[in-house]
């Protein structure tokens, strides 16, 4: 859309406020909201904000930042909050002189996708985003109590989140999402909504907006939606499986009808090899919280081993059965607390490194990895994913491909911030410790 077209639609639809949306380094949605009198200035990319107030951005002496909206991301939210309708545009964060800001996650992803384009490829991503719906207490604070005991693909009345989930789907469709499926997940109160794959930047924009919409509509239903990876001990955690492939124009570069037995091209196999080679190095990005590693444990379907399969779901990378245009690899380790821009950037960088250096992924592992002995895993050269955030950060610091994909500013800010979180976690006294030790000792 052009600036004139956006202004015309705002007038026609009664849009009174425009949210200039971006994310901080950890993926939290941020925005500067402007009234209709400032729409022209906003569309020209002249709105400034204090970058020193955003974690991982700039120091206080370098605080001024510009918001440059991507005109193609203009969408009107499907509700009226009483003061007029609200629209959103996703922005790139720029320096005051208009140059790229090295700490902007969206710019980071664009930089890696540009590298892919120079190699002739466009990354396509389709995420499966899981989340929980929890009840609120009498004071309106979130609990970890669910409002149903539904399981995989259950229907109402067992699935009591159906009405809220349908409202989420309708809101997504009104904003241009092509929703492919929505259903109850394995755990009580857990849900999944899948939307059609797009190029990496568009999909990252969509994930950021998706998380906002889900939480907003859940609140309207008197519920709390959370993308925390593992909120309940003993239940499955929430993942964000990422289906990904590389296209040249309209042709899927992962498909080769003549390549037996899997019809996976050499490009696809090398891409998978790169993902496996760097999985430990990028896990701190795709699984960014202390809590993330309580999901990546045996017994709850989440992957714990670095392997691939064209059949079963126990390894980290799975090849779905679809071929032709739908040929893709499904990376099953990411969770929905990640920053989608950085997560897609590091996975793409890993895959491109695999293509550049012709990294062999080895044969697929078509046995259940969860039931293998350690001896058998060693024989098959199956590595393990990090078991803690600290281990993941240690691996990230040693992986030059991942550090280069992020750039010096982002990688140093990210690692420093997460190290502080880990230190804080270690210093806490947790309920499990009190329950186990207080009476015993």
Q: Which of 165, 184, 241, 280 is catalytic?
A: 241
Chain centroid to CA 175: how far? 19
Q: Which of 332, 335, 390, 399 is catalytic?
A: 332
Helices 105-118 and 200-220 cross at an angle (nearest 10°) of 150
Residue 433 bears catalytic tag: no
Q: Which of 24, 148, 159, 185 is catalytic?
A: 185
- In terms of phi and psi (left: phi > 0; alpha: psi -120 to 50; beta: otherwise), the region of 365 is beta
- Cα–Cα distance for residue pair 113/119, rounded to 1 Å: 10
- Are 411 and 403 in contact by the 8 Å Cβ rule? The answer is yes
Catalytic residue among 24, 104, 130, 159: 130
Would you call 346 helix, strand, or coil by DSSP? helix
Q: Which residue among the candidates 104, 159, 192, 353 is catalytic per the annotation?
A: 192
Contact assessment for residue 169 and residue 179, using Cβ atoms and an 8 Å cutoff: yes
Question: Would residue 81 show up in a list of annotated catalytic residues for this protein?
Answer: no
Q: Of 148, 159, 330, 399, which residue is the catalytic one?
A: 330
Does residue 185 have an active-site annotation? yes
In the set 5, 13, 44, 50, the catalytic residue is 50
Q: Which of 128, 310, 335, 353 is catalytic?
A: 128
Helices (H), 119-199: 162-174
Catalytic position from the list 16, 216, 313, 409: 313
Answer yes or no: 50 catalytic: yes
Residue 376 annotated among the catalytic residues of the structure:
no
Name the helix (H) or strand (E) containing 122.
strand 122-136
Residue 178 annotated to the active site: no
Distance CA 277, CA 290 (A): 23
Whether 332 is a known active-site residue: answer: yes
Among 203, 194, 196, 193, smallest CA distance to 133 is for 193
Which residues are part of the catalytic machinery?
Answer: 50, 128, 130, 185, 192, 241, 313, 330, 332
């Amino acid at each position: 859309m052009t600036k004139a077209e956006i202004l015309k639609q705002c007038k026609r639809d009664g849009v009174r406020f425009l949210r200039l949306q971006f994310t901080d380094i950890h993926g939290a949605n941020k925005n500067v909201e402007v009234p209709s009198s400032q729409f022209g200035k906003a569309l020209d990319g002249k709105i400034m904000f204090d970058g020193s107030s955003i974690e991982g951005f700039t120091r206080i002496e370098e605080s001024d930042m510009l918001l440059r909206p991507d005109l193609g991301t203009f969408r009107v939210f499907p509700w009226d909050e009483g003061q007029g309708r609200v629209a959103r545009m996703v922005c790139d964060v720029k320096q005051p002189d208009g140059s790229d800001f090295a700490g902007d996650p969206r710019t980071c992803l664009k930089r890696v996708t540009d590298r892919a384009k120079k190699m002739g490829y466009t990354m396509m991503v389709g995420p499966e985003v899981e989340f929980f719906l929890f009840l609120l207490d009498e004071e309106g604070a979130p609990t970890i109590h669910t409002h149903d005991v539904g399981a995989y693909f259950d229907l109402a009345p067992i699935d009591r989140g159906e009405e809220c989930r349908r409202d989420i789907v309708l809101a997504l469709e009104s904003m241009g999402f092509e929703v492919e499926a929505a259903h109850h997940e394995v755990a009580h109160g857990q849900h999944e909504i899948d939307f059609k794959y797009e190029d990496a930047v568009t999909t990252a924009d969509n994930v950021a907006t998706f998380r906002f919409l889900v939480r907003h509509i859940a609140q309207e239903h008197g519920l709390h939606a959370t993308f925390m990876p593992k909120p309940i001990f003993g239940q499955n955690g929430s993942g964000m499986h990422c289906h990904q492939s590389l296209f040249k124009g309209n042709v899927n570069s992962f498909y080769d009808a003549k390549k037996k037995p899997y019809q996976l091209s050499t490009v696809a196999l090398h891409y998978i090899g790169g993902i496996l080679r760097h999985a430990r190095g990028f896990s701190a990005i795709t699984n960014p919280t202390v809590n993330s590693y309580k999901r990546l444990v045996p017994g709850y379907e989440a992957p714990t081993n670095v392997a691939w399969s064209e059949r079963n779901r126990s390894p980290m990378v799975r090849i779905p059965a679809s071929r032709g245009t739908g040929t893709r690899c499904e990376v099953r380790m990411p969770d929905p607390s990640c920053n989608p821009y950085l997560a897609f950037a590091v996975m793409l960088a890993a895959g491109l490194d695999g293509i550049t250096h012709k990294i062999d992924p080895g044969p697929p592992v078509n046995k259940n990895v969860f039931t293998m002995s350690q001896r058998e895993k060693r024989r098959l050269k199956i590595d393990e994913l990090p078991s803690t955030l600290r281990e993941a950060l240690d691996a990230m610091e040693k992986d030059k491909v991942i550090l280069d994909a992020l750039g010096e500013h982002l990688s140093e800010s990210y690692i420093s911030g997460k190290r502080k979180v880990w230190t804080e976690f270690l210093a806490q006294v947790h309920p499990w410790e009190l329950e186990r030790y207080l009476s015993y000792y």
